[in-house]
Structure 1
Amino acid sequence: MKYRLIHKTEYKYEEPVNNYHSLLCLTPRSLPKQLCQDFTIKVFPEPSEIVERLDFYGNITHYFSLHTSHKTLTVLTSGIVECLTETTGSPLTLSQVTCAEARERFLLDRSLKISLLEYTLPSPLVRWDQEIRDYAQDCFQDDRPLYECVEALSRKIFTEFDFVSDFTTIHTPIKEVLAAKKGVCQDFSHLAIACLRSFGFAARYVSGYLETLPPKGKTKLQGSDASHAWISVFVPDYGWCDFDPTNNVVPGERHITTAWGRDYSDVPPLKGIIFSYGKHTLKVEVDVIPLD
């Protein structure tokens, strides 16, 4: 499946901004089953240059700065992404490596442990305690395949939590989300990662997009799509395997990967520093348009 991906971010400031520095993480990754083509970035007002960089995790980022007074900032990205994934992203043969075997390999294989260490430790937005571990305890048994256990955790979060878009911010603690049993995709991904790391497994945060489908008989509205988040878990003999606890699916061709890191703080779509005062408003519009 081939998609045209359009992401528009617009800030409106109450008072003029004279200096602004920003880092974008909006370029879809090129992967064995995902190809990013013709990606462009337009910024208004226009900066003197936009510098492309690779971050520590191999994600493509872009830096720019503005030194002219402005009260509106617009960042518009556009690209063509071809997803070669099958209808489902599940392995053809599901892994039978048990939780106990996976944990033992992490401990005994020094090079593997070093390469995965950052994905097993607490990170800025992912921390856990006994309560979080207890929540996932019934999903993880040492003699069960790790892959099946992660599926069980994803299904549990999907079943027991409500998607409520305005309930949390990105800084809402996982414990608060767990107590309220509601949140958004970032919250559910952070909770799943915390559970997995509490049992000693390597899990990372994946940001990207999900093509949404309009109700039957309805036309899809422009700007109605949104950024999405899911998780990836390292399974010995298979490598990184993706799971989407928000929708209880294994990501397939409708999921477009932009970046990954320890948690959201490593891969926000846009972050910046402004030199001004007063309030501002933010508007984001996303379109994931099938081209096939």
Structure 2
Amino acid sequence: MAIFKIVHTTKYHYNWPIKESINEIRLFPHHFENQDVLQDELFITNNPEVDFSKDYYGNRVGNFNMLETHSQMTIETRMIVRVNHSLKIPEIDFTSVQDLEKEKQKSILLLRLGYPEVIQKQSEIDAIIAEINCENKSIIEIAQQCNSYIYDHFTYTKGITNIATTIDEILDIRKGVCQDFAHILLQLLRTIGIPARYVSGYICPNKKGMRGEGATHAWVEFFTPNQGWLGLDPTNNIWTMENHVKLAVGRNFNDCTPVKGTFKGLARQTLSVSVAIGYEDGSKFEEINDVKLQEIPFEAQEQINYIEQLQQQQ
């Protein structure tokens, strides 16, 4: 069992004032069998009213607007979470992919999470599956071998992908970070016929050291008839442990995006995310990351460049 105090701070900066910012956030830790949320607080610039609801996957969602003009926005969540993964490695389970068919026929959710994305490089996914050789293997063995394949054949590299990077692009460069590896694992499992979901959250640092520690992290959960949802972390080639704190689940990153929104105005925006993790012994770990955002449309870029040129001439 482990108790973590986590402070997640998201900061947006705009080089020109913007207005009517409309936002949707999924920054609230899950209550589930092995995770208890002891405290959960939310703080937002100018203290707007937040409407809460649950989405299709059971995630708690907050929606708020900032109509007044502003040049920055900070969203901070503070949480205390107790994690107790008594089972770090699943039990020996010989259920096969064929055993999943009855389960999928009984659940629209499992059917939805069992369809792979339509991509151009599906033949490369098929080739990986052929290399792994799934015949006469259990669901758990197949999933673990897919997880290991990604760890062995894809390089963990920061700064070369962003939230819009596609599965085709990841397959092309064979590099990326946790969310990229999660998307590849999802495509492999779903192509085989195993329902799987994307998980967003944190991986809290330990003495051994793991990729993605101290920042927002992503991994995959797949469904088995006997043991339910089981978590695999392809970035570290491990089963999820008490270091993994879960925020949201969904079909892919878009369903679990911590913060998404839009605004009125022409401005360049920058985003930084800070995650501070406190432990029961009083120690603390903090990491700040500048997030690589999608490029703004060409037309908007041209207008911003023109405005900046006018400012320089004054």
Hey, what does 2:89 align to over in structure 1? 90
State the one-letter code of the partner of 1:90: I
State the one-letter code of the partner of 2:253: Y
Cα gap change, 1:33 to 1:107, in 2 (>3 Å)? closer
In the TM superposition, what are the counterparts of 1:162-177 in structure 2 within 5 Å? 162-177=155-170
Sequence identity (%)? 29
Q: How far has the Cα of 1:114 moved from its partner?
A: 3.0
Q: How far has the Cα of 1:51 moved from its partner?
A: 1.3
Alignment counterpart, residue 259 of structure 1, candidates 248, 254, 258: 248
Report the Cα distance in structure 2 between the residues aligned to 1:203 and 1:140, rounded to whole angstroms.
Answer: 19
1:79 aligns with 2:59: no
Higher Cα radius of gyration: 2
Alignment gaps of 5+ in structure 1: 217-223
Instruction: Note if contact 2:103-2:225 (Cα within 8 Å) is conserved in structure 1.
Output: no
Alignment counterpart, residue 237 of structure 1, candidates 206, 215, 226: 226
Per-residue deviation, residues 82-111 of structure 1 (Å, max 9, x unmatched): 00113x5222x221113xxx2x23334564
Instruction: Note if contact 2:104-2:111 (Cα within 8 Å) is conserved in structure 1.
Output: no
Q: How far has the Cα of 1:214 moved from its partner?
A: 6.7
Hey, what does 1:187 align to over in structure 2? 180
Per-residue deviation, residues 230-277 of structure 1 (Å, max 9, x unmatched): 001111211111100000010010000111000001010000111111
Cα gap change, 1:266 to 1:115, in 2 (>3 Å)? closer
Corresponding residue SS for 1:18: strand
Report the Cα distance in structure 2 between the residues aligned to 1:154 and 1:94, rounded to whole angstroms.
Answer: 17
Q: How far has the Cα of 1:127 moved from its partner?
A: 7.8
Hey, what does 2:44 align to over in structure 1? 43
- Which shows bigger deviation, 17-26 or 171-180? 171-180
Corresponding residue SS for 1:28: coil
Report the Cα distance in structure 2 between the residues aligned to 1:215 and 1:241, rounded to whole angstroms.
Answer: 23
Hey, what does 2:99 align to over in structure 1? 105
Hey, what does 2:65 align to over in structure 1? 65
Higher relative CO (CA 8 A, sep ≥ 6), structure 1 or 2?
1
> Once superposed, what is the RMSD of the aligned Cα atoms?
2.0
Q: How far has the Cα of 1:198 moved from its partner?
A: 1.0
Hey, what does 2:19 align to over in structure 1? 18
TM-score (norm 2): 0.83
Report the Cα distance in structure 1 between the residues aligned to 2:247 and 2:129, rounded to whole angstroms.
Answer: 28
Hey, what does 1:131 align to over in structure 2? 124
Corresponding residue SS for 1:14: strand
- Which shows bigger deviation, 195-204 or 140-149? 140-149
Instruction: Note if contact 1:162-1:181 (Cα within 8 Å) is conserved in structure 2.
Output: yes
State the one-letter code of the partner of 2:18: V
State the one-letter code of the partner of 1:251: T
Corresponding residue SS for 2:165: coil
Q: How many residue pairs were aligned?
A: 277
Cα gap change, 1:17 to 1:110, in 2 (>3 Å)? closer
Instruction: Note if contact 1:189-1:205 (Cα within 8 Å) is conserved in structure 2.
Output: yes
Alignment counterpart, residue 118 of structure 1, candidates 70, 95, 112: 112
Report the Cα distance in structure 1 between the residues aligned to 2:12 and 2:124, rounded to whole angstroms.
Answer: 39
State the one-letter code of the partner of 1:71: S
Q: How far has the Cα of 1:288 moved from its partner?
A: 2.2
Cα gap change, 1:272 to 1:34, in 2 (>3 Å)? same
Per-residue deviation, residues 141-179 of structure 1 (Å, max 9, x unmatched): 221111011111111111111111111112212122122
Corresponding residue SS for 1:191: helix
Report the Cα distance in structure 2 between the residues aligned to 1:30 and 1:108, rounded to whole angstroms.
Answer: 28
Hey, what does 1:33 align to over in structure 2? 34
Instruction: Note if contact 2:116-2:191 (Cα within 8 Å) is conserved in structure 1.
Output: no
Alignment gaps of 5+ in structure 2: 282-314
Instruction: Note if contact 2:9-2:75 (Cα within 8 Å) is conserved in structure 1.
Output: yes
Report the Cα distance in structure 2 between the residues aligned to 1:233 and 1:127, rounded to whole angstroms.
Answer: 24
Cα gap change, 1:37 to 1:79, in 2 (>3 Å)? same
Report the Cα distance in structure 2 between the residues aligned to 1:187 and 1:25, rounded to whole angstroms.
Answer: 19
TM-score (norm 1): 0.89
